[in-house]
Chains A and B, each alone.
Chain A
């Protein structure tokens, strides 16, 4: 349902902006495996901090379930993202939990993050003005929030990749900058392991 809705939004966009033609090619280029696994490296420039914060770990995106984000360094923590909630755990204890039932904003956030990680252009076009550029096998997308409310939080997002999203750059309105690069594994098992399934439950 969401899918069709977003295509409609995208269609409207592609009619008004002639430069949107690359978007279709980019979308066509994206591989959409049921499961993506890989490693990540995150660099965060926090406004007022002299040094960037660096972390790394592994991630998993399951199309119909959500996202698992395991930070391994500098210290271990886990983040689980589904349509309905965001749960962060550290040393086995829940350090924070946001539930969409209680705070509907959470659904927008999870949807947004989910589509950023798997490059779901349709959903992104919902919240952002999207401009795309193709060069050879790789592409870059520039995202600008449509709504003032979102603009308060996020100023600009840049996505780039090939058949996968390779890097994300988020410029927050408070001056914080986050860059994440992904190294997705090719030929990863297309189904969740029993242990991974359990984590989503």
Chain B
């Protein structure tokens, strides 16, 4: 126990915890799609820590000054962020120098079309007309080397792919009505840690800037803001809801067990369980998944049952009897533990690392809490505990349940249940859309959308993954894909394509361009020659005579690749891979057409949103299977202990679960993973109620009922209150728990065998 405490202290306080929040980490490890996962993760990593701040004003000078003030205030604050705001003149001009040596190999697709379509005399006429024009695209280098100014246009097209410009050595953006200073922030702390929540600081900085310049508007966007908002909301809710439920639980047990001491000891057993679970999971898996923690921590609440049960039997008995009493109870408690643990152990058999983690977490936690109650509690629990009036009254409630051996009662209840189940059956629907789980504030979503529109950013959730045995092959496949995408661009279905091969064409394409230029422009009889003859000039172009393609490696090594570097995934396994992103993909109806375009070797269309939703659906189905199997195994165990009476301990919980789902369905709640997760817990707890009640007769039945009622009340206070949460996942979980536990508690007494004789009290 000391070891566990020390480990947890080191783990959480020492900042060694690694909380996994990427839902994709719960994907099967041996999936053939490791590439896709690596790809999406690599892309996500680069985005997960970036925040974009746009400081806008009607005039650039205002935007610039406000941006300066914002950046300075942020730098002064010492926040753990890296700022990217200014760009030196040298940096912004550097990319022209980088590409100049390769200019004979770089052509836009429109230029390739033009050179293929038009005759050399027509091209020469164009070049001649251009010579007499006072303006056009700026020309880099001498006329003889580029009579049609192809390189200038190529650079123009590259620049046109981003709306970010450098003005006054600052990143900027402008619309017809407003100018914006652009500040990029990279968070240095882990993306999802709550301590790294930058929102308050950013808000404060924004307020400060606006105080000086009221006309200025400041929009921020970025995954860290969403993560921080979600985390702080969840934290806030857990705090308020948690405080409320803690108060309720303490009040209840203090009243029933005459004082704080029993409550404290039960709590100790819970913490022992939780601590052990975290230790074991962290040691086995290296890191803890957020969902494991949420689900697992709530599961530890089941352990409450053991402590409560112990005290329900201790009441009114002298301390000296406690060992005998425990011996007597051990069998039932073991059974209760086994029936709970079995469901979670089954999770470990699934191929999903996430579920496996949950299994390890839950079983180890439960076992530790169970053993704490069984082995440690009696040692520290001396003194007398009177069976007080409050406890008596709760236990006595048991007699209020109507006698179900009377046929009329049973028929009536059965008919009511059947009605609800049928209604549920007809209205049940599932929904695994990940977007259901989002609950960011409208302001965050609005600002994110605004920044996306202003920057014209490509969609992060849907993209093409290109693979190939060599970088060259990847680039060639990108180019082939882009030519298939061209009709969609023309038709306006998508607004733009962003790919590495725009900046580094394949060597094959580069040398084809080179050959085309050599033939139509530079060779005798080419464009330069023809114009020279018309003007009576003789100067020859000074050009390279061999194709020396720009390689992906030298591009990657240069600062010019910075904006697109994340899209080049490099070597993943045996393959090289890259990502082709799309702009203006706002309509899901377009997705099938894109799927069709990916029907080529080495090209895949990835729809991350759909993928995560599919993953949630898969988990939901798998969990449902696990639950059914658990019921079968639990029934086996109960049979072994109770024989023919076993159904009495299981059926109420099964019925409670079915009624819960039916009620959720009737009230229009779609069924998703988090409802199903709760059902597994309901099985674990509800069967405990049945076991405790069924194992006792006579006066002890009241003790059992007291224990069960306190456990149910505790669970309801702890998790049922989550139904009030604004976080959709927590609320679905909480609502299911609320209904299921209430029903299981309420239904169990109906199924108990009638008392052999009439007992007063």
Residues of A at the B interface (CB closer than 8 Å) are 1, 4-5, 8-9, 42, 44, 46-51, 53, 55, 69, 71, 74-75, 77, 79, 81, 86, 88, 90, 95-96, 98, 102-106, 109, 113, 147-149, 151-154, 172-176, 178, 180
Contact = CB atoms under 8 A, between A and B. Distances in A.
Given A5-B61, A48-B142, A69 B134 contact: yes
Contacts of B133: 69, 71, 77, 79, 88
Contact of B539 (A48, A113, A173): A48
A77 B132 contact: yes
A49 B539 contact: yes
B610 to A, nearest CB: 32
Contact of B132 (A8, A42, A48): A42
Contacts of B538: 50
B163 interface: yes
B454 to A, nearest CB: 13
Interface string B103-130: 0000000000000000000000110011
Contacts of A153: 138-140
A53 B159 contact: no
Contact of A96 (B126, B157, B163): B126
Contacts of A96: 126, 130, 136
A152 B100 CA distance: 12
B132 A71 contact: yes
Of B126, B130, B134, B159, most buried by chain A (CB within 10 Å of CB) is: B134
B591 interface: no
A120 to B, nearest CB: 16
Of A48, A74, A152, A180, most buried by chain B (CB within 10 Å of CB) is: A48
Contact of B140 (A1, A55, A174): A174
A110 B159 CA distance: 16
B135 A109 contact: yes
B375 interface: no
B386 interface: no
Given A48-B142, A148-B89, A174-B141, A95 B129 contact: yes
Contact of B93 (A51, A152, A172): A152
B90 interface: yes
B383 interface: no
A88 B129 contact: yes
B132 A53 contact: yes
Nearest to A110: B135
B15 interface: no
Given A5-B61, A109-B135, A104 B92 contact: no
Nearest to B148: A96
Given A1-B177, A174-B142, 16 more contacts: A46-B131, A50-B538, A51-B535, A75-B132, A79-B135, A95-B126, A96-B136, A104-B163, A105-B137, A105-B138, A105-B160, A106-B137, A109-B138, A151-B93, A153-B139, A176-B139
B632 to A, nearest CB: 65
B142 A175 contact: yes
A113 B535 contact: no
B541 to A, nearest CB: 9
B535 A152 contact: no
Nearest to A74: B132
Interface string B138-166: 11111110000000010011011001011
19 contacts: A1-B58, A1-B177, A47-B142, A48-B537, A50-B536, A50-B537, A51-B535, A88-B129, A88-B130, A98-B137, A104-B163, A105-B160, A109-B138, A147-B92, A152-B93, A172-B139, A174-B139, A176-B139, A176-B142
Nearest to B138: A153
Is the interface on chain B under 10, 10 to 19, 20 to 34, or 35 or more residues?
Answer: 35 or more
B98 interface: no
Nearest to A53: B131
Contacts of B134: 42, 69, 79, 113, 178, 180
B60 interface: yes
A8 B131 CA distance: 37
Q: What are the 4 A-B residue pairs with the smallest beta carbon separation, nearest first?
A: A48-B539, A153-B138, A148-B93, A148-B89
B59 interface: yes
Interface string B57-68: 011110000000
A64 to B, nearest CB: 15
A4 B59 contact: yes
Nearest to A114: B135
Contact of B535 (A53, A102, A154, A173): A53
B421 to A, nearest CB: 60
Contact of A86 (B61, B135, B177, B539): B135
Nearest to B534: A74
A123 to B, nearest CB: 12
Of B140, B143, B535, most buried by chain A (CB within 10 Å of CB) is: B143
Contact of B144 (A48, A90, A102, A149): A48
A145 to B, nearest CB: 10
Contacts of B156: 98, 103, 105-106
Of A4, A95, A104, most buried by chain B (CB within 10 Å of CB) is: A104
Interface in B517-541: 535-539
A188 B536 CA distance: 39
B136 A154 contact: no
A16 to B, nearest CB: 15
Interface string B79-109: 0000000000110110010000000000000
B537 A152 contact: no
A107 B144 CA distance: 27
Contacts of B90: 148
Interface in B535-564: 535-539
B216 to A, nearest CB: 15
Nearest to B540: A48
A42 B134 CA distance: 8
Contacts of A46: 131, 143
A40 B137 CA distance: 21
Contacts of B157: 102-103
B495 to A, nearest CB: 11
Of A86, A151, A152, A154, most buried by chain B (CB within 10 Å of CB) is: A152
B137 A77 contact: no
A2 B44 CA distance: 39
Contacts of A178: 134
A83 to B, nearest CB: 9
A79 B134 CA distance: 9
A6 to B, nearest CB: 9
Nearest to A176: B143
A43 B387 CA distance: 111
A95 B671 CA distance: 62
B176 to A, nearest CB: 9
Contacts of A95: 126, 129
A154 B135 contact: no
Nearest to A168: B134
Nearest to B95: A149
Nearest to A9: B61
Contacts of A174: 139-143
Contacts of A53: 131-132, 535
A151 B144 CA distance: 20
Given A79-B135, A103-B157, A113-B135, A90 B143 contact: no
B731 to A, nearest CB: 46
A104 B538 CA distance: 36
Contacts of B138: 105, 109, 152-154
B96 A152 contact: yes
Contacts of A98: 136-137, 156
B143 A147 contact: no
Contacts of A175: 142
Nearest to B58: A1
Contacts of A148: 89-90, 92-93
Nearest to A178: B134
A149 B536 contact: no
A47 B141 CA distance: 10
Contacts of B59: 1, 4-5, 8
Contacts of A152: 93, 96, 138, 140
B136 A88 contact: yes
